[in-house]
Amino acid sequence: MRLSGQAAIITGAARGIGRAIAEAFANEGAELLLVDSLDLVEQTAREVSAGKRRVLAYPLDLRDTDKFADLVKYAFEAFGKIDILVNNAGVCKRNYLADLTEEKWDWHFDINVKAMFFLSKSVVAGMIEKGIKGRIINTASVMAKIGEAGFAAYTATKHAILGFGRCLAFEMAPHGIRVNAVCPGIVDTDMERQIDVEIAKQEGKSPAEVRKRYEALIPLGRYARPTDIARMALFLASEDSDYLTGQAINVCGGMVMY
């Protein structure tokens, strides 16, 4: 098993990509602390564990950054170490500039960027103190490399994730801590389906029409599955990627090819 004896924190882990990453890590032997604001995270932890792995739930609104020190302390006490941090939690809404308020802008940055920054800072401090050659994996997006009307706030956060991760990769390299990002394309999750519904309402179309339009932009012809992203996260968490750091890897069916 590629992650046997490893301990990981995964944010946004109750459903979608985060849950798929949790399942992939647990199947490869990791112990997990699943963090999410959704009550569903308790159920997810039970189902991912299925009596085979120690999988703990930690309900937390990731805007409560003052509680991150307690979160990291809990993880170190529970597992004795943290080998892997997956900053996966993220939010997205379609708002054109005319309707993009400061509140909506801050909502995107608080969850997508500030949470990543504060949690990474706490976790790497513990890794360095204990001499752990850890891995930080950030969920970005192909929107960090392209753009689309109506998604300025979301896209700005994903650019920030890549910039932060590259700088952190330089700082952590002397400690043997690797920092990489996964850049999903369009992923078939509850969040994406809700976005399709919102776009359909705004444009007077059906969600099926919106989906068909986006699928036409993907050379492989389909939305990604959460498991597609989870397999890349597993690769970046394992020794198979031990010579990679500061990278932002597209998992998008060819939607972006650089």
Q: Say if 181 falls within a structural domain.
A: yes
Q: Report whether 186 contacts 255 (CB < 8 A).
A: yes
Q: Say if 1 falls within a structural domain.
A: no
Query: At 243, which amino acid appears?
Result: Y
φ/ψ of 141, rounded to 5, equals: -175, 155
Q: Say if 23 falls within a structural domain.
A: yes
Q: Say if 69 falls within a structural domain.
A: yes
Q: Say if 2 falls within a structural domain.
A: no
pLDDT of residue 39: 87
Given pLDDT bands bounded at 50, 70 and 90, which one contains residue 102? very high
Instruction: Give the domain CATH number at 93.
Output: 3.40.50.720
Q: How far apart are CA 45 and CA 68, in angstroms?
A: 19
Among 195, 196, 157, 165, CA closest to 182 = 165
Q: How many domains does the chain have?
A: 1
Q: Please confirm, yes or no, whether 154 is among the known catalytic residues.
A: yes
Active-site position among 58, 96, 154, 214: 154
Q: Say if 256 falls within a structural domain.
A: no
pLDDT of residue 231: 98
Q: Is the pLDDT of residue 258 over 90?
A: no
Q: Say if 203 falls within a structural domain.
A: yes
Range of the domain at 169: 7-251
Q: Say if 258 falls within a structural domain.
A: no
For residue range 144-190, list pLDDT tens digits in order. Answer: 999 999 999 999 999 999 999 999 999 999 999 999 999 999 999 99
